[in-house]
Structure 1
């Protein structure tokens, strides 16, 4: 087993374990910080997949932006709201969660079915990429190409995402002012 495989399994275990903890815990503070660890583990998986730009974007946008907004929303919520959330009695399995559990089960069946039936080395698009020599190598500089594409071909989606993040920032500022009689 190579070092890359060991790191992959380690990052995957950390990501899955922390995500299960986030979904299963009742303590919101611990859940938020374990979500932080989950996002960093996903960034580590992106680095191992040679997607360095996506890994940096994961850290900057999700860890640096969205998670901080979640943390501030938690810190600015009133004690009444937090006490109401803490007093809710919820079993891990109950009738209210049945649709979500069925959907998750179906996704698991599809995922396991795909893993067992698909041979990743014999996919048609992988063979065509190898023949055309259209592969991502560890020494290739993708960040420059991504920057050029973001500012030319994909400028509209890039700006739409920036507007979405600005709306999230304005919403968090509005929520923080709401408790002070504004």
Structure 2
């Protein structure tokens, strides 16, 4: 096993462990900082995939935008809102059943859609060429972003908007009557 593979596997393991800890951490501040680790290690994996522009863009957008916005929202939220939050005990409760059923239904729907689609024979995938090691990645990314990957690009923009709305909701102060 080469050194490059060891470094890649290190970043892959770091991504998986930190993402797991982000979801399961009880402390919100630690969870936000572990999300920093997840984003940086994912960017390192993009560098190994020869997607240098995507790695830099991910660091600039997520770390520079979303995470800083989340930190400011946390810092600007009033103490009464944070002290009123209840500590959730781990474990499965009956109230989680609806969420689990919805997630299971969506998973079945997505699995059915992906397994029934003939992805290899789609015309917009057949026409595209693989990006070589010496190709201009920024030019290829521009072409693929506006043709092949337009839907994921729009999903990311909706995600960023949801993060902005969530951070603004956390940061606003409720007026007392």
TM-score, with structure 1 as normaliser: 0.64
The 1-side partners of 2:155 and 2:21 are apart by 33
1:42: how far off? 1.0
1:71: how far off? 0.7
Residue 39 of structure 1: aligned partner? 39
1:16 to 1:175, Cα distance in 2 relative to 1, 3 A: closer
What does 1:152-167 align with in structure 2 at a 5 Å threshold? Answer: none
The reply to whether residue 77 of structure 1 matches residue 77 of structure 2 is yes
Q: How many residues are paired up?
A: 159
The 2-side partners of 1:174 and 1:89 are apart by 21
Q: Residue deviations 1:134-179, cap 9 Å, x none?
A: 43233322113434776x879x988997798689668857875x43
1:7: how far off? 1.8
The reply to whether residue 137 of structure 1 matches residue 132 of structure 2 is yes
**Please, which runs of 5 or more residues in structure 2 have no aligned partner?**
112-118
Residue 97 of structure 1: aligned partner? 96
Q: Residue deviations 1:48-85, cap 9 Å, x none?
A: 11112211111111111011111111111111221222
The 2-side partners of 1:89 and 1:171 are apart by 20
CA contact (8 A) 2:22 2:32 kept: yes
Larger RCO (CA within 8 A; separation ≥ 6): 2
**Please, which runs of 5 or more residues in structure 1 have no aligned partner?**
112-122
CA RMSD of aligned residues (A): 4.3
What does 1:1-182 align with in structure 2 at a 5 Å threshold? Answer: 1-85=1-85, 87-98=86-97, 103=103, 134-147=129-142, 176=171, 178-179=172-173
1:101 to 1:4, Cα distance in 2 relative to 1, 3 A: farther
